[in-house]
């Protein structure tokens, strides 16, 4: 790569970060001054999409007609910090995303995410995890549409890891369909440990829903593995559980 190309990519990466910063500032103003929760969610969804529109990132969304019109749970593979804003911006505004509990430690982010409808789940403290799980199940029982990254984190290594059962327990308790989503290109654009995003194409493949009554819906772990395998079939990345996979257990 010559210096001209490197300079162009650096300038583009800086502009992409500027777009993100403007979207965050706009969203903070929204959650501070807009009293209606629905209006806040719609405006933050618009701002999240602008993160990708302003730097002219090619985002290809396929299968939008696979999303049920009623409430459901969406689950997606996780490869980059881009994944959250990407799904927030390109899925309907009604989806509230479940975020790792560590974000509570950063007050501005916690305030923004909470006021825009996000839920939080503690991953390390057992007591906190149990409390958060109850709240998420309560939201599902109340009919909220929820979004999860059930791997819980992401790695630089390509592939899809184990899905934690929380999203699928909530879906079963709430009697809601589970919609697997494959996100492609985000690992290339901003990999783990990366600083500046790189130009590229992002893809969102919304796959057919797994509905209550399907055989795969019998247990949370079986449902999780079915969703994971459907994502792997489209994503084209390796299965990180090939060497240590465990049989699905009762939910």
Q: Which two tokens stand for residue 10?
A: 């650096």
Does the pTM exceed 0.85? yes
Rounded distance, CA 112 to CA 123, Å? 20
Determine, yes or no, domain membership for 134: yes
More confident residue, 119 or 163: 163
Number of domains in the chain: 1
Q: What pLDDT score does 123 carry?
A: 61
Q: How many of the other CB atoms lie within 10 Å of CB of 92?
A: 12
Determine, yes or no, domain membership for 34: no
Determine, yes or no, domain membership for 171: yes
Q: CA dist 92 to 117, 153, 157, 199, 222, Å?
A: 13, 23, 30, 25, 27
Of the chain, the end-to-end C-alpha distance in Å amounts to: 51
Determine, yes or no, domain membership for 246: no
DSSP secondary structure letters along 12-63 = HHHHHHHHHHHHHHHHHHHHHH---HHHHHHHHHHHHHHHHHTTT-EEEEE-
Q: What pLDDT score does 52 carry?
A: 98
Rounded distance, CA 178 to CA 170, Å? 10
**pLDDT tens digits along 65-124:** 999 988 899 999 999 999 999 999 999 999 999 887 677 778 888 888 888 888 887 765
**pLDDT tens digits along 133-158:** 778 878 877 878 899 999 988 888 89
Question: In degrees, to the nearest 5, what angle opens at C-alpha 187 toward C-alphas 223 and 152?
Answer: 40
CATH of the domain at 94: 3.40.1130.10
Determine, yes or no, domain membership for 113: yes
Rounded distance, CA 116 to CA 126, Å? 26
Give the residue numbers spanning the domain of 165: 57-235
Rounded distance, CA 89 to CA 61, Å? 11
Rounded distance, CA 169 to CA 162, Å? 15
Pairing assessment for the beta strands 145-148 and 178-184 based on DSSP bridges: unpaired
Average pLDDT, the chain: 88
pLDDT surpassing 50 at residue 249: no
**pLDDT tens digits along 15-30:** 999 999 999 999 999 9
pLDDT surpassing 60 at residue 248: no
């Amino acid at each position: 790569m010559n210096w001209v190309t490197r300079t162009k990519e650096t300038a583009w990466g800086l502009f992409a970060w500027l777009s993100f910063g403007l979207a965050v500032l706009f969203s903070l103003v929204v959650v501070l001054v807009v009293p209606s929760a629905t209006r806040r969610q719609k405006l933050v969804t618009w701002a999240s999409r602008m993160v990708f529109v302003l730097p002219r990132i090619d985002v290809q969304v396929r299968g939008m007609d696979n999303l049920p019109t009623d409430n459901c749970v969406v689950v997606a593979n996780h490869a980059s910090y881009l994944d959250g804003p990407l799904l927030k911006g390109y899925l309907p505004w009604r989806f509230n995303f479940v975020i790792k509990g560590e974000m509570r430690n950063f007050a501005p982010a916690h305030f923004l995410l909470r006021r825009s409808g996000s839920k939080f789940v503690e991953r390390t403290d057992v007591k906190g995890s149990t409390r958060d799980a109850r709240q998420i199940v309560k939201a599902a029982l109340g009919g909220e549409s929820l979004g999860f990254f059930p791997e819980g984190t992401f790695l630089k290594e390509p592939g899809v890891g184990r899905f934690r059962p929380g999203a699928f327990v909530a879906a079963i308790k709430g009697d809601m369909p589970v919609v697997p989503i494959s996100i492609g290109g985000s690992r290339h654009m901003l990999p783990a440990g990366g600083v500046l995003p790189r130009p590229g194409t992002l893809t969102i493949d919304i796959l057919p829903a797994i509905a209550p009554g399907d055989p795969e819906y019998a247990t949370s772990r079986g449902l999780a593995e079915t969703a994971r395998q459907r994502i792997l079939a489209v994503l084209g990345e390796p299965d990180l559980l090939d060497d240590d996979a465990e049989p699905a257990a009762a939910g």
